[in-house]
Amino acid sequence: MPDAADLLDAYDALCRTTEVDGFPPGTLIEVDDPLVRVHDRRRGFLCTPPDLRLDGPAVDALIERQRDVFAARGTAVEWKHRSHDLPADLPERLLRAGFVAEEPETVLVAEVADVLGLDAQPPAGVVLRQVCEEADLVRVAALESLVWGEDRGWLVADLRAACTAAVPPAAVFTAEADGEVVAAAWLVEQPGSGFAGLWGGSTHPAWRGRGVYRSLVAARARLAAQRGVRWLQVDASADSRPVLERLGFTAVTTVTAYVWTPQASPGATAAGDEAAGTDEVAGTDPALLPVLAELREREPLFHRPAPGAGADDLERQVDPGFWEVGASGRCYSRGHVLEVLRRRAEDGDDGGPWETSGFACRELGPGTYLLTYLLRQGGRFTRRATIWRRTPAGWQVLYHQGTPVAG
């Protein structure tokens, strides 16, 4: 068994110094010595060294500077703290600055060679697939939403960007039984470090304890070996830790995400609070989270096409009786909306840049759902509501409305 201290040294020196490379191309990254600020689509991240080499007021000033940068953008930010990081009082200082601690996880590391010998075939009736098609990623997000009891529809865009990256692409795996995704996980390599992360490992409650998760670990280890990766790293929940330790992983430290959100700041403006939005699914029945994951990927419907949709596909998605109430209060017919979309497509105008947040879903009747969310376009915010109906031919939109949010 490798020495835990040696694995921790490798993790600090190689894995943490290159974690910024794991974000999709085009991500805004800023250096604020001694840390790196990452402006991700969902919320910001702070990549930090094991030792900030600061203390007292200098640490507080660094923390407040990060908080203020993201407050100005109206987005949340996450500071990952490992239990061996310095200064030792950093968690207390983060809490005083308004950050909130999430559940701690255990960082486990293993040499790929030590995991390759596993006899970890999936159970009978389960097939492992490496996927990257949009429809598969939607199914992965739906499973993750179901397992974790929150909307994780944002994973579709994140995984799409990661698994289509030039070098090296992330590898997304599903475990499927009778055509249904019962578990999912992915491998993300950090170039030049020798490390790859095992992320997203989630199994449907009905399939836990049957070796599905174990088989996904082995499948990703085999691919990592083919790519020349030396170490695998996992931020593991309390449920996953004992499984991974039995597979040869060693616990090297613990990690806690400290998150600050604009809503927590008494000085935030109304527009800033709206811009931050939330990924919590207020008012969404947990049983509807898979539906929410599917519909989320189809919005904003009239600012971009649904996955894989052309003009004819869009027409099929819009019910013959569709109508829209615009932000001005005017009503628009199906024909008018489709004509506007055609002109936009010809001009290459998708109404961007835009951001969506705060999705929620309610069932109105059999197969009919109300989807609500916040749309941000520059400094303009609108509350959006779309009524969708599931049909044998696929999803159809019945109604859409946009209501301006006062600044």
Q: In terms of domains, do 241 and 321 share one?
A: no
Report how far residue 249's alpha carbon sits from residue 233's, in angstroms, rounded to the nearest whole number. Answer: 9
Lowest-pLDDT range of 29-38, 223-232, 308-317: 308-317
Structural domain boundaries, residue 360: 270-404
* Domain shared by 91 and 140, yes or no: no
At which of 234, 264, 294 does a domain end?
264
Please tell me whether residues 100 and 18 are part of one structural domain. Answer: yes
Residues 123 and 240 placed together within one structural domain of the fold: yes
Dig out the tokens for 403 from the structure: 């209501």
Residue 178 burial (CB count, 10 A): 8
pLDDT of residue 358: 81
Those residues with Cβ within 8 angstroms of residue 402's Cβ, 6 or more apart along the chain or in another chain: 325, 326, 327, 375, 382, 383, 384
C-alpha–C-alpha distance, residues 324 and 330, integer Å:
8
pLDDT band at residue 349 using 50, 70 and 90 as cut-offs: low
- Does the structure show a pLDDT above 60 at 275? no
Same domain assignment for residues 12 and 93: yes
Q: What is the mean pLDDT of residues 83-96?
A: 97
189 and 201 both lie in a single domain: yes
Confidence of residue 102 (pLDDT cuts 50, 70, 90): very high
pLDDT for 273: 39
Question: What pLDDT is stored for residue 281 in this prediction?
Answer: 40
CATH number at residue 385: 3.10.450.50
d(CA 380, CA 338): 23
Quick one: pLDDT at residue 334?
Answer: 87
Considering the domain architecture, whether residues 280 and 228 belong to the same structural domain is answered as no
pLDDT at 379: 67
Beta strands in 143-300 (DSSP E): 171-177, 180-190, 195-203, 231-236, 250-260
Quick one: 94 and 136 in the same domain? no
Given a cut of 90, whether residue 23 has pLDDT beyond it is no
Verify that 229 and 301 share a domain, yes or no: no
Q: What are the tens digits of pLDDT across the range 259-271? A: 998 763 333 333 3
Average pLDDT over residues 112-123: 85
Q: Are residues 298 and 165 in the same domain?
A: no
Structure confidence at residue 264 (pLDDT): 38
On whether both 365 and 294 belong to a single domain, the answer is: yes
Q: What is the pLDDT of residues 8-20, one digit of tens each?
A: 999 999 999 888 8
Question: Of 264, 295, 320, which marks where a domain is finished?
Answer: 264
CATH number of the structural domain spanning residue 191: 3.40.630.30
Residue 391 has pLDDT above 70, yes or no: yes
Mean pLDDT across 27-33: 91
Domain count, the chain: 3
Q: What is the CATH number of the domain that holds 64?
A: 3.40.630
- 280 and 150 fall within a common domain: no
